[in-house]
Every structure is written in structure tokens, then in C-alpha cells.
Amino acid sequence: MACKASRAPFLQNIAKRGLSAVSCPRAVGQTADFESCVLGNKVVVAAANSFLPVTRVSIVFRAGARNESYDSQGASHMLRIALGLGTKNSTGFAITRNIQQVGGSLTATSDREIVSYTVETTSDQIEVGLRYLQDVIEPTFKPWELSDSIGRVKYQVASVPPQVRAVELMHKAAFRTGLGNSIYIPKFQIGKLSSECLQHFVANNFTGNRCAVVGVGIDHNTLSGFAQSLDLPTGSQSKSVNASYYGGDIRKDTPGDKAHVAVCGQGAALLSQKEALAFAVLQHAVGSGTSTKYGNINGSFGKALSAAVGNENVSYASLNASYSDAGLFGFIVSADSDVICKAVAGLTGALKSGSVSDEDFNRGKALLKTAVLESYSTDSSLINEIGLQAILTKQILTIDNLIAAIESLQLKDVQDAAKKVAGSKLSMGAVGNLGSVPYISELS
């Protein structure tokens, strides 16, 4: 089992632990049909059909890093670790052995908003998969098992790439607490989170009103019956505190000749669908390098970087993170310490320009539609899509509706998004040799 960082829809940072996930393409021209409802225990249920003999089911909780207090920082990371530990009804060995025996996989993923458990088996073995999927949402956090996991936790934290560390620091500068919490446990918390602390975190967040059960390749009635059988408390009506954007910079000096810098301004919340899609188009419009090995650089980011550093070896990417009630938009750049200052200044100038050309807008729409079609084309990515939509917006969009919403966007919508970033206070996270990296006050 392994932990890795990847991207979820709208570029939420995700950490994942589990066995291998198989990506199976959907036949050309075939789309998934959705059924959804809210049960009496307040659990949201959504199911999509599949054209493959593989069933995937996820239990998703709004229990991500933003729900951690100062004393419980790292709890969501430990939930990923706990996937391989004992539960209320099964040992870690029994879960692993029985899932492997039917050729399935069981994974845990989390980001700043959600914790998700997913089982994948052939359709005739899904009953076994659901049994152990239900088990893993009742972890016991035995103290000796937590103690034995410390070495693995340290390895995972030490293996986080510097680019990801820069993005994590950027979130901390932008939001401070809540969405500013890292998806990785802080070093000072390793070995400090007790079984009681983790049980308290689970009790507060693994509730019916904070849960969604989604499936691909399973009958909606069967999935509803499974969701109804989950032993979850109803939960209170209290909601998470809305995220507040602050801005600023956080820097971490480390040895070496490289610097990694992430800069962002305010983006869009997922609950504002039109604005979130406008920022998604903007991300593709500003560009993230060439589409082919020797292709031309498109977008304002690439042109600004070329003008600033010429032919120097610099890598960059645009960032667009949309959460339920807040968002970030910006870039991350990695370069040698002697050119990083010019690279950051050039990209920041493009970020604060607040303009988008017709050419970039049309290219951005086309690229976003391609990305959306790709995410809906495989069952393994589709279940992630509907899981996030079910738990965060409680509204499942079909691919036709989503493409139509993208098509309806006008140039003005994307230009308004660019102006919002340009007019907001900036946030920066920087890791590496930062001797020549400008402070955020110097860029604003």
C-alpha cells in the first residue's frame, strides 16, 4: 500500500492510500445514467450504470483536513493510515486477505474537505467488498497499531515533493486554519494523536448528514439498502465554519540550488457553479506549458515566463483549487535560485493582468471539455466525480449538462474571473533556496 498526491476535480489536492486502481475506458458514445436520493438517515445516495463487469462503491465523508482543530491536526492523514489497521469487526489482516481473495481493491483517499473509502470488485463479488467497506468506516485505532505505523507515517511525510510542500504552505498563508490545514500530518504531531483523539474526530465527522454513498455498476436500490444499513449517527445541523481568505506568505528554506514557489489569489467556490467553471476555463486559457514535446507555448503564463527568463530551464503549472465555499487560483514554478526571482515576477505580472484574449478563451473551453470528457470516460474516475458532487453540492451533473454549462460561458465570464484574481490579495508558499525569492509584499 502506498500514499501519493494526485489531482481531483478542480485541482483539489488528494492523498491516497490503497491497492492499485484500474482505469477502464467507457465505450465511445456511451454515457452513464445517474440516480440519486437522500435517505431518511440523511445519507446522500447516487448510482451510475456501467458497461463493465466491475462494480465500484465509495463511502464519502465531509471529514477532510479543514475539520481538524489545532490539537487534532493530521487526523485525516491517520484515517488513511488506519485503512490497513483493525476495525470494530475485523482485523487488518482479515480485511486485506479477503479483499485480495476476491481480486478486489480497497482504497482510502482524502483532501481538505473529504475522506473517501472505495472498494472495487467484480460484480459477482461486490457483496464481499461491501462487507469490508462497511468495516473500515468503524476504525478502532488500537494504540499498539498506531505505534507500529509511526515509521510509515514518517516515511510518507518525508516523501512529500517540494512542489507539494509549497502548495501546502500557500494554503496555510491563504486560509491559516480550516482549509489552511495540510493534508499531511505535521511532524510535531507524529505519534502524538491518541486513540481517543482519533475516535472523537470520527464520532464528530462520520455522521449521516456528512456522508454520501456512491456507486458505479451497481443497482440504485441495492446501493440504497446498503447505505440505509450503515450504523451512522444522524449528526447535528451545525455546519463547518466558512473559510476566510487572508493572504500573505510562508517560506521554508531548505538546502540545494532549486526553489519552488506557489502564488495564488482568490478563486471560485464549487457552490457557485458558473464561476467555478469560468475559473476552470481560465486555468486552461492561461496555459501550463506545451501540449507536445516541441510545441509552441500558449497562454499568458507561458508568454510571460518566456519574456522573463528566456531559455532558462524553468517548469511551471497553473493552479485552480475550488472548495465548497472558497477557491484559489494561481501558479507554481520551480527553477534555479538565480532565475526564480524573474520567473515569479513574470508569472505574477500575468496573474494580475486581469485580461484574457479571445484565442485563449476558445482554447481554454476546448481543453476543459476534453478534460471533463476524459474524467467521465472511465468508471474509476467517474466514481470520484460523483462522490465529490454528491457530498459537496448534493447535485449530480450528467456529462451533457456539464458540457452545456461550459458551452454557455462567455468571454466576459472568464475575464471577470481573471479580474477577481488580479484584484485580490496574493498568497505565497515557497520551499528551497529562497535567497532571491521576493516577498509577497514586493509582488503586490
Instruction: Measure the CA angle with vertex 49, ends 44 and 54; round to 5°.
Output: 105
The Cα-based distances of 209 to 312, 319, 335, 394 in angstroms read 52, 31, 45, 11
Residue ranges per structural domain of the chain: 2-229, 248-443
Q: Do the domains 248-443 and 2-229 match in fold?
A: yes
pLDDT tens series, the chain, 444 aa: 333 333 333 334 445 555 433 445 555 445 677 899 999 989 999 999 888 899 999 999 999 999 999 999 999 999 999 998 999 999 999 999 999 999 999 999 999 999 999 999 999 999 999 999 999 999 999 999 999 999 999 999 999 999 999 999 999 999 999 999 999 999 999 999 999 999 999 999 999 999 999 999 999 999 999 999 998 988 765 556 688 999 999 999 999 999 999 999 999 999 999 999 999 999 999 987 666 665 567 788 988 998 998 888 899 999 999 999 999 999 999 999 999 999 999 999 999 998 899 999 999 999 999 999 998 988 889 999 999 999 998 888 889 999 999 999 999 999 999 999 999 999 999 999 999 999 999 987
φ/ψ (deg, to 5) at 328: -130, 145
Question: For the whole model, what pTM was predicted?
Answer: 0.90
Q: Determine what percent of the chain falls in helix, strand and coil, rounding each to the nearest 5.
A: 45, 20, 35
φ/ψ (deg, to 5) at 15: -115, 140
**CATH number corresponding to 2-229:** 3.30.830.10
**CATH number corresponding to 248-443:** 3.30.830.10
φ/ψ (deg, to 5) at 74: 95, 0
3-state class (DSSP) for residue 97? helix
What burial letters (b/e) apply to 400-434, b meaning 16+ CB within 10 Å? Answer: eebbeebeebebebbbebbebbeebebbbbbbbbb
Q: How far apart are the first and last CA of the chain?
A: 43
Nearest to 386 by CA among 28, 2, 48: 48
Q: Which helix (H) or strand (E) holds 346?
A: helix 340-351
